[in-house]
Structure 1
Amino acid sequence: MKHVELADIVIGNDRPLTVIAGPCALESAGMGQDIAGTVKAACDAVGAQYIFKASYDKANRTSLGGRRGLGMDEGLKALQSIKDTIGVPVLTDVHTEAQCAIAAEVADVLQIPAFLCRQTDMLLAAGKSGAVVNIKKGQFLAPWEMPNIITKVESTGNTRILLTERGTSFGYNTLVADMRSLPQMAQTGYPVVMDATHSVQQPGGKGGSSGGQREFAPVMARAAVAIGVAAVFIETHPDPDSAPSDGPNMIYLDQMAQLIDTLMKFDALAKDHPISI
């Protein structure tokens, strides 16, 4: 079984749960610090490991008019400030090969968006950056197709790889999460992540933007952690309905502490380790 190390965190399917959480789009350094500080405190209270996530650019918005975030230069400065102020590793999406090396100067984890998970040049560039590479399984892929994607990153000499389940296309504007994919992807040996909030997204469901069913995100998180995963990915915001991206499926920030506490109890049962307090 493989483990991925970064900062003082060790991520693995047999290790205590890692929480990857933050807003969908980075709106400001200050808001990012507030969210990171709140979630880190909740994780510290129950022994969960924590990685802050936010995108400096949402390049795959439904409509041309969708708000995309701070942009790369300002966004990376904001992520650096969050690392320095809160003392947590950070994750962000990359959308082109050229962004990988630049983003890796700040980000500990580069995330390959689901739509781009088979793009060979993207995977090679991310692997060559030396950062941890979190690959979101495309909505169009079966879990047993992930080894082909892994091989591309491994070819660069980088084996710091995470695999994320985020749901599978199920008709129009709908996703379904097949929990069998979690142990199937774990057969690769690499740490598996459950994206609890994007799995309840309704892509393009509002015509000009995506909808979502945030009430089911905690259900997805609990189910996945009960199976036994390395990490859970959750987007959160103080006021999701005012968020520029993915508001309908994000969890309210003030609900995160209780959810993380619950998840750590499920994690202890699944992995048979003591609960840390």
Structure 2
Amino acid sequence: MTQAAAAPDYRALLSLDDRGFIVLGAGDGIGAQISHGLAQCGARVFCVDIVEDKARAIAEAVGGHHCAADVTSAAGVAKVLKAAQVQLGVIHGVVDVIGVARIKPIAEFADEEFEWQLGIVLRHALYVLRGASQVMPQGGPITFVGSMSGNRAVANQLVYGTSKAALHHLVRGAAVELGPKGIRVNAVAPGFIRTPRLLELLDKAQWEEIDRHVPIGRAATPEEIAATLLFMSSDLAAHVNGVVMPVDGGVSVTAALPDLEFGKVARTGTA
């Protein structure tokens, strides 16, 4: 009889003890939650936000370091990587949460708004990949936050969705190119999330309508997105590379069809 293989220590595979991680967009929402998650698993966290007070506050909360920078520019990314190397020594991973949606009809989108949206979603991600891949000699995970809007067409989100779709392809292409260096590149693709920003923008009735369209009955929380990012950042995901993982409660697998009340039709026997 063949002896069964010994089971690994799965709990240990989640450990990030003494590993240095950069979190871009750490100030609140998903960024703050993944900073907590990484720190709780033993990582030394370098928290980056464009607002210095936010970066400092989360760094203090997780016992990490902080830096204020605009990483939509190549110079901003270079500043972050240099400062992180000073504080962390070796960089073992990056989690990039940056991305804001400008939502409006196609006809109202100005040229400068198009460039801004591409810059904040896509261009900065290229800067991050280009820079981080040169300062991670031991390899490690680089993980982005994409969007369901990059997988499916959403009204008034053409430019945002196009930017996220391009980010998803950037992730896949980088995974192929950087994989031989031991760098895994992945992303999560959330649907609606109860982030501080969206909680301010949407009222109770709008949230109820969103929840109605999610198969599990509710939008995600920042903690739930952070949990998936934490998995992708750990050795539990050691063979996960080039993946854009939906974390949307099942929205991406549903068909956009009207409710035809099939149950009622069946009960009445009509065709």
TM over 0.5: no
The structure having more radius of gyration, on CA atoms, is 2
Using CA pairs below 8 Å that are at least 6 residues apart, which structure has the higher relative contact order?
Answer: 1
Classify the TM-score, shorter chain. 0.3 to 0.5
Higher strand share: 1
Higher helix share: 2
